[in-house]
């Protein structure tokens, strides 16, 4: 390293805060590493709690539409980042045209298109599909530009499956595993919260509550879960809590048309999301594509069995059925899994215990340590 001063790192991201998986990872990095590294953050959003810990270079961009936000950030961050006097540049995704030492990849757009066969999910309104198609097409172009040996030294993937995708699509650049973490103190079973929240929500003793957490409800498969609840094989004791924000009108209408609206509660975005994990019985994620799924790992930490498709990160967590039930992305498969779990509390408990055991090593301390080890190596091997 250079002298006795802390190494200087430019951290580049659209947002750094606790509302979202990829944004949360960089927030935890700052909390745990700011005493060892001197961070300058180039972002549009930064949690007020983190601002005293770093230098913030705000990049002003419009919030909507997403394609314009992406283009504006990519263009506006380039000059101040090029002028920054730093030892390392660490970006979150392909968000800047500048050379980076490490880019953390939390979503591989080329991998998503390869897995799903499309840029935007079917079923959403035409304007939303068009917006998503443009945004993801632009993101793939940005990946192709940024994920080259001339532009980045290391790509850091957050799950083994994502690292394999990076090797497949951007194999000319070295890819390393730097997994996300989970707050095991916050996300843990709490019987008192379970009892109080279920009572407040009017959950009967024999009801089995399915939990769905996140945005982008098309990709994550909320429609499949709602259809599973209406499936003849699904017991009437099933209820679903949906935590997060997306196209509420469309999905509330779908629940109504399927005749399950009285058993579905759209909670919205919550700062106390851990309470819903603690009061639920099963976590459900019939997603088309993931890279880690912080929500699934938080559910596991809270002791919930996982019903999910075998997507990146989640497949490692669930295994061959040791910590949940892996399913095909169909309402019938999800309904069968939920029927099995609804009728067997002992099975739910056993799978949930194993899920919590498996996630116990994925702490934020370990996650940050993997990034800092990469920093140390890159600083020792600085290009001349």
> What's the confidence (pLDDT) of residue 381?
87
With beta carbons less than 8 A apart as the criterion, state whether 205 and 233 touch: no
> What's the confidence (pLDDT) of residue 121?
66
- The span from the CA of 290 to the CA of 218, in Å, is 13
Positions of the chain with pLDDT lower than 70, given as ranges: 1-4, 120-126, 384
With beta carbons less than 8 A apart as the criterion, state whether 214 and 89 touch: no
Do 191-359 and 8-181+363-380 fall under one CATH topology? yes
Q: Does the bond joining 65 to the residue before it have cis omega, within 30 degrees of 0?
A: yes
Average pLDDT, the chain: 94
Structure letter (DSSP) for residue 313: T
> What's the confidence (pLDDT) of residue 122?
65
> What's the confidence (pLDDT) of residue 133?
82
Pairing of strands 88-92, 100-105: parallel
Structure letter (DSSP) for residue 221: T
> What's the confidence (pLDDT) of residue 135?
82
- The span from the CA of 286 to the CA of 264, in Å, is 17
- The span from the CA of 3 to the CA of 7, in Å, is 9
With beta carbons less than 8 A apart as the criterion, state whether 78 and 97 touch: yes
> What's the confidence (pLDDT) of residue 132?
78
Please report the DSSP string for 236-258 in residue order: TTEEEEEES-S-HHHHHHHHHHH
Q: In CATH, what is the architecture of 8-181+363-380?
A: 3-Layer(aba) Sandwich (3.40)
With beta carbons less than 8 A apart as the criterion, state whether 159 and 312 touch: yes
Q: Strand, coil or helix: what is 141?
A: helix
**CA dihedral defined by 203, 205, 210, 213, rounded to 10 degrees?**
50
Using a 10 angstrom Cβ sphere, with 0-12 exposed, 13-18 middle and 19 or more buried, the burial of residue 254 is buried
Q: What does the domain layout of the chain look like in residue ranges?
A: 8-181+363-380, 191-359
> What's the confidence (pLDDT) of residue 191?
96
> What's the confidence (pLDDT) of residue 5?
85
Q: Strand, coil or helix: what is 25?
A: helix
Fold classification of 191-359 is Rossmann fold (3.40.50)
């Amino acid at each position: 390293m250079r002298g006795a001063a802390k190494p200087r790192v430019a951290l580049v991201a659209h947002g750094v805060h606790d509302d979202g998986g990829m944004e949360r990872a960089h927030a935890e990095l700052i909390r745990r590493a700011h005493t060892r590294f001197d961070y300058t953050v180039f972002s549009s959003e930064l949690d007020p709690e983190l601002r005293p810990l770093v230098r913030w270079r705000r990049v002003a961009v419009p919030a909507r539409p997403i394609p314009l936000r992406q283009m504006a950030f990519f263009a506006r961050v380039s000059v101040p980042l090029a002028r920054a006097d730093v030892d390392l540049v660490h970006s979150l995704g392909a968000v800047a045209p500048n050379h980076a030492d490490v880019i953390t990849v939390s979503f591989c757009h080329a991998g998503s298109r390869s897995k799903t066969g499309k840029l935007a999910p079917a079923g959403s309104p035409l304007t939303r599909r068009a917006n998503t198609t443009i945004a993801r097409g632009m993101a793939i172009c940005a990946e192709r530009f940024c994920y080259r040996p001339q532009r980045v030294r290391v790509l850091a993937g957050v799950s083994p499956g994502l690292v394999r995708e990076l090797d497949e699509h951007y194999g000319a650049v070295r890819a390393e595993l730097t997994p996300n973490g989970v707050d095991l103190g916050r996300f843990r079973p709490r019987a008192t919260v379970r009892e109080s929240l279920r009572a407040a929500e009017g959950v009967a003793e024999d009801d089995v509550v399915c939990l769905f957490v996140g945005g982008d409800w098309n990709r994550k498969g909320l429609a499949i879960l709602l259809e599973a609840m209406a499936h003849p094989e699904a017991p009437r004791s099933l209820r679903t809590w949906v935590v997060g924000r997306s196209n509420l009108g469309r999905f509330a209408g779908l629940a109504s048309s399927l005749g399950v609206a009285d058993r579905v509660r759209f909670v919205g975005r919550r700062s106390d999301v851990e309470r819903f994990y603690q009061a639920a019985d099963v976590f459900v994620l019939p997603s088309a594509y993931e890279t880690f799924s912080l929500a699934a790992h938080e559910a596991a930490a809270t002791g919930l069995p996982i019903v999910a498709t075998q997507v990146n990160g989640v497949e490692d967590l669930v295994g061959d059925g040791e910590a949940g039930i892996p399913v095909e992305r169909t309402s019938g498969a999800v309904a069968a899994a939920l029927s099995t779990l609804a009728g067997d509390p002992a099975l739910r408990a056993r799978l949930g215990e194993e899920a919590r055991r498996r996630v116990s090593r994925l702490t934020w301390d370990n996650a940050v340590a993997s990034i800092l080890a990469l920093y140390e190596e890159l600083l020792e091997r600085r290009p001349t």
